[in-house]
Amino acid sequence: MTKPRPHPLAGLVLILLLAAAAQAAVIRLKVTAELANIRLKPSISSVIIRQIKEGAILEAIRKEGEFYLVKLEPDESGSTSGYVHESLVLALDENAPAEKMPRIVERAEPPKPKPIVETPPARTEAPPPARTEIRPTETPRTEESASRPEVSDQGRASLVLSGGGIYASIGDLNDGAQGLSDLYAFQLGVPADKAAGALHFALHYGGELIVPLSAQFSISAEVDYYANTAETLISYPKGLSTSTLKVRPEFRAIPIKIGLIFYPAEFLYFKIGAEYAFARAAYAYRFDHDAFWQEWSGEATGGALGIFGAVGLEFSINRTFAVLLEAVGQSLSVSGLSGTGTFQDSTLTAPVTEIGKLYAYDGLPTPLNSYRLVFLRSKTPTEGGVANAREAVLDLSGMIFKAGLKITF
């Protein structure tokens, strides 16, 4: 028995039916706001990738909650689709949601009775045509009202309050504390019981104002503060007596930063910029040996330009708040620090004061022994037992790790 062969037109009919079904799935939308924001994701806190003028016709692929997924013409960003809120458009297709279509209520008046006359014969009057009354349904107000353009996230400034820590090189200030400790160990002929504590880590606090330039670029202005002190009591035990040296280096910095921020994705950003730091470096030393003692103290300030770069993650909580995690690398060295230093010991009746700059130099108790020292001096040290004198540097180059709360106005 021969099986019936399919009609040659059956395949063509099936293809036409599938094409018609695909075409019917597309929803045509008309923009009813002055500007309709097209967003990357179906959320009013998502980044805006396009803005469409009033009266434009869009094609929607589907509806997700309160948003339509619409097709876009490719632009320089490469976006071919995005989401528009239902309050900014009007669906033109028959399968549009009921709240977007006007409701038509028809009310027909009853026909008038025919007049009764004997002659001539009565003429029947046709009933008047039915009157059609159009009552548009009211659309409830939403955050994105169709009666005005949606407020764009672009142009909304943000304030970031942050805290964390910095690890910096510091340099000469640490070297000066350790060098003085090693010099006393050489003079006493006994080793120190511990190394001088070095300054590297400090708590970091900051405030930053961010102003968007576009969907992917923003500028920022930031003020930071960080400071720390390292105090160490070093002992030199020798027989029945013990000499001690207390060293206390400290630093403080207030950088002012200007940066450019680039968002390659909604949650990721990169930042580069320049900064100017107002810095302070200080030291305090006290040596005790039986009844004899010596004290040095000094404080110097200065400023310098630097550069920085950062990478960060941004996690949105809602339209107003977001949490930031950021890692910053900076190159910043402050030299030419100037201030006042004092020296006094148990043999002097009054302290000796010097006003000048902070210098780093090598102390040479013998031609074969060299120890790095850092003190405030009125002029470059050139006396005997001194070599390689130069202006001391407070090296703040290093890494900053911080977390912040971003508040968008």
CATH number at residue 208: 2.40.160
Do 32 and 80 lie in one domain? The reply is: yes
Any long-range contacts for 10-17 (C-beta under 8 Å, 24+ apart)? none
**Residue 265, beta-bridge partner list:** 268
Quick check: is 57 in a domain? yes
**119 falls within a domain:** no
Dump pLDDT digits (tens) for 295-310: 999 999 999 999 999 9
Judgement on whether residues 268 and 315 belong to the same structural domain of the protein: yes
pLDDT tens digits for 343-399? 999 999 899 999 999 999 999 999 999 999 999 999 999 999 999 999 999 999 999
Residue 123 pLDDT > 50:
yes
Q: Which of 2-6, 209-213, 368-372, 381-385 has the lowest mean pLDDT?
A: 2-6
Q: How far apart are CA 75 and CA 347, in angstroms?
A: 81
Average pLDDT over residues 232-261: 94
Q: What one-letter code names the amino acid at 157?
A: A
304's tokens: 């310098």
| Cβ partners under 8 Å of residue 3, min gap 6 | none
- Cβ 409 vs Cβ 156: under 8 Å: yes
Residues 87 and 165 in one domain: no
**What's the mean pLDDT when you consider all of the chain?**
84
- Whether 147 and 201 share a structural domain: no
- pTM, 2 dp: 0.65
| Residue whose C-alpha is closest to residue 211's, from 158, 249, 133, 168 | 158
Same-domain check for residues 146 and 227: no
Burial of 332 (0-12, 13-18, 19+ CB in 10 A): buried
- CATH code at position 45: 2.30.30.40
Any idea which residue has 């589907």 for tokens?
62
* pLDDT-derived band at 403, boundaries 50, 70, 90: very high
Asked if residue 193 and residue 48 are part of one domain, the reply reads no
Same domain membership, residue 197 and residue 219: yes
Residues of the chain with pLDDT > 70: what percent? 78
Residue 117 domain-assigned (yes or no): no
Residue pair 357/300 in contact (Cβ under 8 Å)? The answer is: yes
Structure-block tokens of residue 392? 């001391």
Q: How many CB atoms lie within 10 A of CB 175?
A: 19
Reply yes or no on whether the pLDDT at 130 is more than 60: no
Query: Is 50 exceeded by the pLDDT of residue 125?
Result: yes
**Residue 300: per-residue pLDDT:** 97
Specify whether 83 is located in the same domain as 212.
Answer: no
DSSP state, 280? E
Q: 226 — phi, psi (to 5°)?
A: -150, 150
Above 50 in pLDDT, residue 17?
Answer: no
Question: Does 4 reside within a domain?
Answer: no
Q: Is residue 135 part of a domain?
A: yes
Domain count, the chain: 2
Average pLDDT over residues 227-233: 96
Sign of CA dihedral 207, 211, 215, 216: negative
Which of 153, 184, 210 delimits the end of a domain?
Answer: 153
Residues 163, 76: one domain? no
Q: 148 lies in which domain range?
A: 21-106+130-153
Scan for tokens 């900014």, then name that residue: 88
Work out the average pLDDT over 220-234: 97
Looking at the structure, tell me whether residues 179 and 234 fall in a common domain: yes
144 and 202 within one domain: no
H/E/C letters for each residue in 152-181? CCCCCCEEEEEEEEEEEEEEHHHHHHHHHH
Q: d(Cα 74, Cα 185) in Å, to the nearest integer? A: 74
How many CB atoms neighbour CB 403 within 10 A?
A: 13
pLDDT at 49 over 60: yes
- Other CB atoms within 10 A of residue 145 CB: 15
Q: How many whole angstroms separate alpha carbon 69 and alpha carbon 52? A: 14
Asked if the structure places residue 15 within a domain, the reply is no
CA distances from 381 to 174, 261, 351, 356, 378 (A): 20, 46, 19, 11, 9
Please say whether the beta carbons of 89 and 30 come within 8 A: yes
The highest-confidence range among 125-129, 148-152, 385-389, by mean pLDDT, is 385-389
Residues 232 and 83 in one domain: no
Domain end marker among 121, 153, 185: 153
232 within a domain of the structure (yes/no)? yes
Q: Examine residue 48 and state whether it is found in any structural domain, yes or no.
A: yes
